[in-house]
Structure 1
Amino acid sequence: MENEAVRLLAVRKHYGQVAALDGVDLSFPRGGFTAVMGPSGSGKSTFLHCAAGLDRPTSGSVHLDGQDLAELSETRLTKLRRDRIGFVFQAFNLLPALTVAQNVELPLRLAGRRVNSKHVTRMLAHVGLAERRRRLPGELSGGQQQRVAIARALVTRPAVLFADEPTGALDTRTAAEILALLRESVRSGLTVVMVTHDPVAAAHADRVVFLADGRVAGELTGPTPGVVAERMTHLGAWAGTAAVGA
């Protein structure tokens, strides 16, 4: 497992009588960019929550950065998430009263770690916002705010970045810029796992994993938007309507 950043083994997650995940086996290589797709109700969000240690599976195991999450106490799990996992969501979740630089520094301060201003500046330069470090989020465009969120996610040097619909609130051109930024981060050795409904976004990944009814329903390497869209069309027909929201 040394070359795997994340590994799910026979993961099941039940909410009452409903199986949101039903025996998922997946691995995500270090330095890889994987998109996770599926129809509404396929279990995408539940997968992300279990893989990132935000929720514990009903059964099965999740290994992240060499650690079996089931063996960790809540305190150690919180520390692992804080130190080794980055999160980017559709909502930028920036604090409006803090400057761009202060938002990026926040994970370090919450962890009680020393803030290296040069490292923060490097992260902002990486996302193309070094000159806007003193601006407030409200003074930035949506795409720029998402860039700040990415810098904030990367500042702790995580092993894995989980992205949940990171381009969902952005226009096409800005979305392409954000995806190119994630791709560039992967080339630097980061592992990215991205949940998306957009075939164009998924085509920026190395591979696409498809979920349907809480199960792995296939995967695709070297994806193109057309092939991804066609596969999604078939998945929607196969999965039908599920009871669990994705």
Structure 2
Amino acid sequence: MRLRSGTRQKADDRPEAPAATPGLAVELRGVRRRYGRGPGAVHALAGVDLALPRGTFTAVMGPSGSGKSTFLQCAAGLDQPSAGSVYLGGTEITGMSENRLTELRRSRLGFVFQAFNLLPSLTVEQNVLLPLRLAGQRQDRRRAAEVLARVGLADKARRRPGELSGGQQQRVAVARALVTGPDVIFADEPTGALDTGTAAEVLGLLRHAVDTPTGSGPQAGGGYAHGATVVMVTHDPAAAAWADQVLFLADGTFAGGLERGSAEQIAARMATLTARTGAMAGAAA
């Protein structure tokens, strides 16, 4: 992770955030998140710098309480950092109004959660089309059919979530995340409630979203030469092994990474980090 240059100064001496770095899907600069004040304050993020290129799959792991969920929430604009800047696709979202943030999340981001978060009263097709409906866009049933076919649920469009297995519900959630053709998909423990075989199917879908060009975007010849960018928080080394890189969080900061590691390598690195974090906590007690 490279160091950032200092901020420029405006004519009235107020600091101006530097421009976003070209080619990055997600960029965090000096991001801190503090809960509470005084001696009892909790520093969930303690100065995070991160630069993720477009069309990459990144897994984030760390011991319990390391700041994984806070990192994801700040990176996705679901929570405001106490300090620092967050850029999504070149757009700084720090300090953006809630209305603009909501519009950005609906049009450019996809989300997959452990709990699926499907609406039980809607059909599978209606759940998939919900992001388009909320964004005020046309309800494109052909688009819904395309993404449902991609996740292997072409014949389930008229069903309701309660009629599906857990793995099928998570595939509906993935289809919902894909329907807008998002720049970035944020996944929070997407396989936490699934068995090993079903988890592999869902991870394969996320991997495919990264490896398949979107066919849209501002490039000569029409389209990006990359697919979506996936940022996934997980506790499972087998899930993390699907990613291009694994980053490890400890005490609110990144403590190194691993490129394309096996599940065994990732588990070993995670065990070392957890042991070191526990030893440091014991020494400080």
TM-score (norm 1): 0.96
Q: Which has the higher contact order (CA 8 A, sep 6+)?
A: 1
Match of 1:12 among 29, 32, 37: 32
What's the counterpart of residue 210 of structure 1? 248
1:165-208, Cα deviation, whole Å (9 max, x unpaired): 00000000000111111101111201000000000000000000
Matched, 1:148 2:172: yes
Provide the secondary structure at the position in 2 that maps to 1:70: coil
Gaps of 5+ in 2: 1-20, 213-226
C-alpha separation in 1, matches of 2:187 and 2:81: 20
Gaps of 5+ in 1: none
C-alpha separation in 1, matches of 2:102 and 2:121: 26
Amino acid at match of 1:20: A
Provide the secondary structure at the position in 2 that maps to 1:115: coil
C-alpha separation in 2, matches of 1:106 and 1:68: 26
Report % sequence identity.
Answer: 66
1:2-33, Cα deviation, whole Å (9 max, x unpaired): 21100001111001211100011111111100
Amino acid at match of 2:244: D
Match of 2:51 among 4, 27, 33: 27
C-alpha separation in 1, matches of 2:242 and 2:94: 32
TM-score (norm 2): 0.83
Matched, 1:224 2:244: no
Matched, 1:70 2:108: no
1:32-76, Cα deviation, whole Å (9 max, x unpaired): 000000000100000000000000100010000111112522211
C-alpha separation in 2, matches of 1:217 and 1:132: 43
Amino acid at match of 2:236: D
Pairs aligned (count):
242
1:55-100, Cα deviation, whole Å (9 max, x unpaired): 0100010000111112522211111111111110000111111111
Matched, 1:2 2:22: yes
C-alpha separation in 2, matches of 1:197 and 1:70: 28
User: How big is the shift at 1:117?
Assistant: 1.3
C-alpha separation in 1, matches of 2:145 and 2:22: 31
Matched, 1:89 2:113: yes
What's the counterpart of residue 169 of structure 1? 193
Match of 2:128 among 104, 107, 116: 104
Question: What root-mean-square deviation, in Å, do the aligned CA atoms of Structure 1 and Structure 2 show?
Answer: 1.1
C-alpha separation in 1, matches of 2:128 and 2:235: 27
C-alpha separation in 2, matches of 1:42 and 1:72: 26
Provide the secondary structure at the position in 2 that maps to 1:25: strand
C-alpha separation in 2, matches of 1:154 and 1:84: 10
Matched, 1:190 2:214: no
